[in-house]
Amino acid sequence: MIDRGEAMELDLFPEDPYGGSIPTSPLQFKVVPISKKQASEIYRLHHYLGEKGFLHQFSFGALYNGVLWGAITFSIPNPHSIKGLYSKDDQSGVLEINRLAFASDSPKNSCSRMISIATRLLRKRYPLKLLISYADTAQKHTGAIYKASGFISHGLTAKKKDFASPDGKIVGKLKGAIYSNMEGSWISRSQKYLYSRSFT
């Protein structure tokens, strides 16, 4: 099943998933296709954004002794175009690393190895031309794992603001809205480092 590239549907989350032995090297992980549901459980446990709101085209997981320790998800990017990288008329073959996370006690370099192996598997089932990803400065991320994986840095994204309601929740764009008549305030959005890697 795995060799055919199908998502695994096994129960990879026993009652005490990390109660057994702990991997000491990223080489001990087996990277396999997984479902969005399985990836979301990893993100719920180990990603600062949690399991909600992530786009999904392909997901891969890192297995050790039958337990899922990490996950990576690729999706079509939200921006229809990014100047200097791709246009709205040339978005075919462009994907984004939408989410990536590992258990906190995973071995060093687990993320960079996951990117390398998962990308190799992805290219066997998708005509990948360009892969992009972001590193969030609000989380003190600099993108070191992307540099280690052969990505090019394009610096920080532009400064932007979002309108937030009094309870702090971000209000999405509302057609015809007059924000000056609404309760809330504009807050600065955290900037992100943009990275890309070409496969053409």
Residue 120: what pLDDT? 96
Q: Kindly report the backbone phi and psi dihedral angles of residue 37, in degrees, each rounded to the nearest multiple of 5, phi listed first.
A: -60, -45
The pLDDT tens digits for 55-94 are: 999 999 999 998 999 999 999 998 889 999 999 888 899 9
pLDDT of 5 above 60: no
Residue 163: what pLDDT? 77
Residue 16: what pLDDT? 47
**Rounded Cα gap, residues 152 and 168, in angstroms:** 34
Q: Kindly report the backbone phi and psi dihedral angles of residue 114, in degrees, each rounded to the nearest multiple of 5, phi listed first.
A: -60, -45
Reported as type and span, the H/E element at residue 116 is helix 110-123
pLDDT of 3 above 60: no
Residue 9: what pLDDT? 43
Q: Please check whether residue 39 is in contact with residue 99, taking contact to mean a CB–CB distance below 8 angstroms.
A: yes
pLDDT of 44 above 90: yes
CATH 3.40.630.30 for domain 2-157+191-198, yes or no, is yes
Q: Average pLDDT for residues 106-114, to the nearest whole number?
A: 95
pTM score, whole prediction: 0.81
Place of tokens 């991320």: 141
* Percent of the chain clearing pLDDT 90 (strictly above): 60
Q: What angle do CA 114, 62, 49 make, to 5 degrees?
A: 75
Q: Average pLDDT for residues 166-186, to the nearest whole number?
A: 74
What residue spans define the domains of the chain? 2-157+191-198
**Using 50, 70 and 90 to split pLDDT, how confident is the model at 6?**
very low
- Mean pLDDT over all residues of the chain? 86
Q: Average pLDDT for residues 161-188, to the nearest whole number?
A: 75
* Percent of the chain clearing pLDDT 70 (strictly above): 86
The pLDDT tens digits for 115-147 are: 999 999 999 999 999 999 999 998 888 999 999
Place of tokens 């990308």: 119
